[in-house]
Structure 1
Amino acid sequence: MSHYSIELMVKEHSEIERMLFVIRRICLKLMDGGEVPVSDLREIIDFVRNYADKHHHGKEEKFLFPLMVEKMGRIADNLVTHGMLVEHDLGRGDILCLENALREYEEKQSPELKLDILSYAMAYAHLLQLHVEKENSVVYPFAERQLSEEDLCTVDEKSRAFEEEQEKLGVQERFLSLLDRMEERYGILKKD
């Protein structure tokens, strides 16, 4: 049986992966000698922090992961606490370093800071790509196999309520339209 919350998180992963592709495209342009698109990177940081992290990881960290640890014990604790949550924090660290490098670059442009920007952006993109693959192929299927139908319905209900609340605030519309603009700006064709 398919569950709303899992389907939603997988869908959000595909949206996050689209932004990771934008990041890669920007990094390729930097490698080819392009200028640092500071304002675009700031918007991407906003997307990462408020859509990928707060919106998407928020559902995992508030609804799914705690229930997995509570109901599934040590194996879930290892997978979630020592795996997925560590990777969430590593991603946050990459984004903070990227933001700091951007701020320094605005004050004093240098090849070293351009390299830092490229490095932290790619570190984040690489980490998140692997993270998404693990969650889609291991974590979510494991949760669906091991959690009871009642537990999964609870996660669905909480996720649905959260989504509706966020929709009223315009969160999804804001960040998905930003994603569309970035793909258009960097010449990325959408897959239908």
Structure 2
Amino acid sequence: MYAIDYLIEEHEQISNFLDRLEEKCIEVINEKTVDFNFFRASISFIREYADGIHHKKEEDILFKYMISDLGMLGEKVIKGGMLVEHQLARGYVYDLEIAISSYKDSPNDKNLLQIIANAMAYVNLLRKHVEKENTTVYKFAEDRLSEDRKSLIEKESSERIETEKKYDKRKEELLSIIFKENK
């Protein structure tokens, strides 16, 4: 399914971001400094792209049909797994944002630790989440959803992808900040 292939491609970009976020956490440990521009851009990238576009597309299209069509098992996989993890990720990002503000107001080890703890909790959760979706959840959908339902998912996903193109410039702006090398 093209829709699932597209979600997997988005996972690759998100995974590259996760690697970069981890690198910046190591930098925080080693240098005891926080690159505020990087972390602000990272929070925006997560909220606008990873969550606002990618997770939203999963929730509004693929997961919706998996819940409605695949019975208790589909409901358990999505509601008890994937949606819970999406919500946990949002919580880590919220707490990361608070930790960054706290550190800016009061640069101490406790606030620095909270930046690292919440950023790495997000990284670790999303890495496992991406792996689960790529190897299990998407395959489950492809194997179990009817051909009619898959066609509908393809149609809705194509329409959504087309409307998301207007956010490409913003995403690239954020990625240029995130992947900028320190001088």
Aligned residue runs from structure 1 range 118-137, under 5 A: 118-137=116-135
**8 A Cα contact 1:25 1:186, kept in partner:** no
- Post-superposition offset of 1:180: 4.6
Whether 1:175 aligns to 2:133 is: no
The counterpart of 1:140, out of the listed 120, 138, 141, is: 138
Matched residue, 1:190: none
Aligned residue runs from structure 1 range 3-82, under 5 A: 3-82=1-80
- Post-superposition offset of 1:113: 0.3
Q: How many residues align?
A: 183
Question: 1:35 is aligned with what amino acid?
Answer: T
Q: CA RMSD in A?
A: 1.4
Normalising by structure 1, we get a TM-score of 0.91
- Post-superposition offset of 1:184: 4.0
Deviates further, 128-137 or 104-113:
104-113
Matched residue, 2:181: 185
Alpha-carbon distance between aligned partners in 2 of 1:186 and 1:85, rounded to the nearest angstrom: 36
Normalising by structure 2, we get a TM-score of 0.95
SS in 2 for 1:23: helix
Identity among equivalent pairs (%): 35
Deviates further, 128-137 or 149-158:
149-158
Q: Which runs of 5+ in 1 are unaligned?
A: 188-192
Alpha-carbon distance between aligned partners in 2 of 1:99 and 1:181, rounded to the nearest angstrom: 17
After superposition, give the CA deviation of every residue in 1:36-77 in whole Å (9 maximum; x if it has no partner).
111210110000011000100011100011101111110010
- Post-superposition offset of 1:172: 2.6
Alpha-carbon distance between aligned partners in 1 of 2:172 and 2:88, rounded to the nearest angstrom: 24
Matched residue, 2:103: 105
Question: 1:172 is aligned with what amino acid?
Answer: D
